[in-house]
């Protein structure tokens, strides 16, 4: 029966076996009255009054065993009762649940049930102990009109928040999403919304800023949860959270170690290409000089020199992008183009007897990822394949869309690397992704190539599988999901507009150009006027600052190099913007770290151009900025 805190019966679920009248005969009467009327007298009524008084103060069930009224001590129990307070989440007593059980029959059945209940309690205790050992934190997010987040002590500890175990914390849901890393907010919310909409289970691994006494620290967590649904829709999300920061940092350290190892391979490939490029530039320069001396046109030779310089700049860009140790930068990428570049680097480092073949499907859908890491992934797979071949053989690289199932659209792009090498036994294949495991002789490698590739694939929500047969060869297949967003146009690419005439002489931008490299300063002084800009050029940033301070209105834009002795480009920007805050600024640099990019963004730098860049592109950027500012 359900009774109110004063003992008045509200509802009877079942009534039989104990001098039982119809169930409705109990409703509206007190438990004390019922006890007195059914053989208990005033003594039993007082006993139940005391029991209900105890229940009003209790938080757990209390079990009572009663012999017949007036019986001597030692008389077997004939009636048992369980009294349970029913409380709201706030602790307020709402009702009392009373079960009165006739013990004159079914004693053995009751004993069996009690044993099973004891076993269940023991198993629950063991489960809680096991969860505590794993470090998992359990949580529950109620959905619907009243959204609330609660969790056990470990969950709140991981989150760095103060709260009682499984008591909803006001505002915790909003605080939770505020703590997410800015780059992870979007896709974590998308995964959550997909799970609530009836999609896959909520299974994510992301970063968040855990509050500390000194501010906040970045942590990694893995979360897995399942949404429970009712007739009206989703009811709650229940799951577990694990702090995986140490594992992620370990993976990053191993990835960096392997990255440094493979830099040698990359440097070898770049050195091979650079030698070819420099040879072509020098040869064309010699031919151009002779053509000028003979009166012939050197245009073809100059064109080839420019093409070679662009190729050299591209090689430098790839080396810098690959070797940087900043946090990954995600964008929409052509995996086929990445595979072509990676293979061009690896090909010169393979033994002469190994043939490298590349086949990329046209018009591949983009994948979202970090270009340097995906270069490393492909290079690792191709390098491993080459090292598996003794003597002569073939390495085949194929890049194409994952075949759709039925009417489903293409959902991924795969890189398949096949070799005709020695192959792997089942035992070796089972350990292929173990860090520092290698089947090659001593000195043949660190055993980090495949583990690093697996780490990169997983960080891009991809998979890697291996098929191998001893004496036949190995096939490694990496599948990466396609990007959910269409690629954005390159905002830095110059746009030719034949409908726009050359700016009139009176509107030519006046550029303060600062670069400590003498050759670039001389070039800017000669070439910027040819591209529509008037230039005042300095190789000393202090002299440039003095000139600007003397006549701030004499310039329409500042173009400055980043790395200069005595006064860096960012420091020069600070001082010039302190004099004139609205001056458009273009920053040029051969390499920009993640921290320097953030510093440039914080200063409101209008454009960042990587070196080397064509003077025409630089002039177009300045003209666009000055026109927009005017």
| pLDDT for 52 beyond 50 | yes
Q: Would you call 348 helix, strand, or coil by DSSP?
A: helix
Mean pLDDT of 263-283: 63
DSSP symbol at 497: -
| pLDDT for 43 beyond 60 | yes
CA proximity to 579, closest of 628, 533, 512: 512
CA distances in angstroms from 154 to 135, 168, 242, 270, 364, listed in the order given = 7, 15, 9, 50, 45
Strands (E), 184-342: 202-212, 215-230, 233-243, 330-333
pLDDT of residue 491: 42
Q: Residue 455, class by beta-carbon neighbours within 10 Å (0-12 exposed, 13-18 middle, 19+ buried)?
A: buried
Q: Would you call 347 helix, strand, or coil by DSSP?
A: helix
Confirm if 150 and 168 have CB atoms less than 8 A apart: yes
pLDDT of residue 541: 93
Confirm if 452 and 376 have CB atoms less than 8 A apart: yes
Distance of CA 201 to the CA centre of its chain: 17
Mean pLDDT of 451-456: 80
pLDDT of residue 23: 67
Mean pLDDT across the chain: 80
CA proximity to 625, closest of 492, 515, 521: 492
CA distances in angstroms from 11 to 1, 28, 36, 81, 624, listed in the order given = 6, 9, 19, 17, 80
Mean pLDDT of 5-34: 76
The DSSP line for 2-57 is: EE-TTSBEEE-S---SSS---GGGTTTSBHHHHHIIIIIHHHHHHHHHHHHHHHHH
- The CB density around residue 220, as the number of other CB atoms within 10 Å, is 19
| pLDDT for 388 beyond 60 | yes
Q: At what angle do helices 569-579 and 541-550 cross, to 10 degrees?
A: 10
| pLDDT for 385 beyond 70 | yes
Beta strands across the sheet bearing 233-243: 148-151, 137-142, 233-243, 215-230, 202-212
pLDDT of residue 506: 45
Among the residue ranges 4-18, 142-156, 165-179, 413-427, the one predicted with the least confidence is 4-18
Pick the most confident of 6-20, 29-43, 439-453, 490-504: 29-43
pLDDT of residue 476: 93
Domains and CATH numbers, the chain: 2-105 (3.30.450.20), 136-243 (3.30.450.20), 249-481 (3.30.565.10), 505-629 (3.40.50.2300)
Sign of CA dihedral 547, 551, 555, 559: positive
Q: Would you call 469 helix, strand, or coil by DSSP?
A: strand
Among the residue ranges 234-243, 255-264, 347-356, the one predicted with the least confidence is 255-264
pLDDT of residue 108: 59
Residue-wise pLDDT tens digits, 297-340: 988 888 888 877 777 776 666 566 555 545 556 788 999 999 99
Confidence band (pLDDT; 50, 70, 90) for 410?
low
Contacts of 404 (CB under 8 A, 6+ apart): 410, 411
pLDDT of residue 479: 92
| pLDDT for 558 beyond 80 | yes
Confirm if 462 and 479 have CB atoms less than 8 A apart: yes
Mean pLDDT of 246-259: 69
């Amino acid at each position: 029966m359900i009774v109110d805190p004063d003992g008045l019966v509200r509802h009877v679920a079942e009534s039989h076996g104990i001098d039982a009248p119809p169930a409705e005969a109990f409703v509206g009467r007190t438990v004390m009255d019922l006890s007195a009327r059914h053989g208990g007298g005033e003594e039993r009524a007082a006993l139940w009054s005391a029991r209900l008084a105890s229940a009003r103060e209790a938080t757990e069930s209390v079990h009572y065993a009663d012999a017949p009224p007036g019986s001597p001590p030692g008389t077997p129990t004939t009636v048992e009762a369980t009294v349970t307070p029913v409380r709201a989440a706030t602790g307020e007593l709402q009702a009392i649940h009373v079960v009165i059980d006739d013990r004159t029959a079914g004693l053995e059945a009751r004993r069996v049930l009690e044993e099973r209940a004891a076993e269940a309690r023991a198993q629950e205790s063991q489960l809680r102990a096991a969860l505590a050992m794993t470090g998992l934190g359990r949580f529950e997010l109620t959905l619907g009109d009243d959204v609330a987040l609660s969790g056990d002590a470990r969950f709140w500890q991981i989150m760095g928040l103060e709260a009682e175990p499984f008591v909803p914390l006001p505002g915790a849901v909003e605080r939770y999403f505020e703590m997410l890393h800015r780059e992870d907010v979007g896709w974590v919310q998308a995964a959550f919304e997909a799970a609530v909409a009836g999609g896959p289970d909520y299974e994510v691994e992301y970063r968040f800023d855990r509050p500390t006494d000194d501010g906040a620290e970045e942590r990694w967590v893995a979360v897995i949860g399942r949404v429970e649904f009712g007739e009206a829709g989703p009811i709650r999300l229940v799951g577990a959270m694990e702090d995986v920061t140490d594992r992620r940092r370990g993976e990053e350290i191993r990835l960096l170690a392997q990255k440094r190892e493979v830099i040698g391979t990359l440097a070898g490939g770049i050195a091979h290409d650079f030698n070819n490029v420099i040879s072509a530039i020098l040869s064309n320069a010699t031919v151009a000089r002779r053509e000028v001396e003979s009166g012939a046109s050197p245009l073809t030779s100059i064109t080839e020199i420019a093409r070679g310089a662009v190729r050299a700049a591209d090689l430098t860009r790839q080396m810098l992008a690959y070797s940087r140790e900043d946090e990954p930068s995600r964008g929409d990428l052509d995996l086929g183009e990445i595979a072509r570049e990676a293979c061009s680097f690896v090909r010169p480092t393979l033994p002469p007897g190994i043939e490298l073949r590349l086949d990329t499907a046209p018009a591949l859908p983009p994948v979202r990822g970090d270009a340097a890491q995906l270069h490393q992934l492909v290079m690792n797979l191709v390098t491993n394949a080459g090292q598996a071949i003794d003597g002569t053989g073939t390495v085949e690289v194929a890049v194409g869309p994952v075949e759709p199932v039925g009417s489903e659209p293409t959902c991924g792009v795969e890189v398949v690397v096949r070799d005709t090498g020695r192959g792997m036994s089942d035992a070796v294949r089972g350990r292929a992704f173990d860090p520092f495991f290698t089947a090659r002789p001593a000195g043949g490698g660190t055993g980090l190539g495949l583990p690093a590739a697996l780490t990169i694939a997983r960080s891009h929500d991809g998979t890697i599988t291996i098929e191998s047969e001893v004496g036949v060869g190995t096939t490694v297949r990496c599948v990466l999901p396609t990007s959910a967003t269409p690629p954005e146009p390159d905002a830095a690419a110059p746009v030719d507009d034949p409908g726009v005439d050359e700016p009139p002489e009176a509107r030519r931008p006046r550029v303060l150009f600062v670069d400590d490299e003498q050759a670039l300063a001389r070039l800017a002084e000669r070439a910027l006027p040819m591209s529509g800009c008037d230039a005042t050029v300095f190789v000393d940033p202090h002299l440039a600052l003095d000139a600007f301070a003397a006549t701030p209105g004499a310039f329409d834009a500042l173009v400055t190099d980043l790395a200069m002795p005595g006064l860096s480009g960012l420091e020069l920007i600070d001082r010039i913007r302190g004099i004139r805050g609205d001056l458009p600024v273009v920053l040029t640099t051969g390499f920009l770290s993640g921290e320097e990019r953030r510093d440039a963004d914080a200063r409101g730098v209008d454009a960042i151009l990587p070196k080397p860049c064509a003077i025409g592109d630089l002039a177009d950027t300045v003209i666009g900025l000055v026109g927009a500012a005017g």
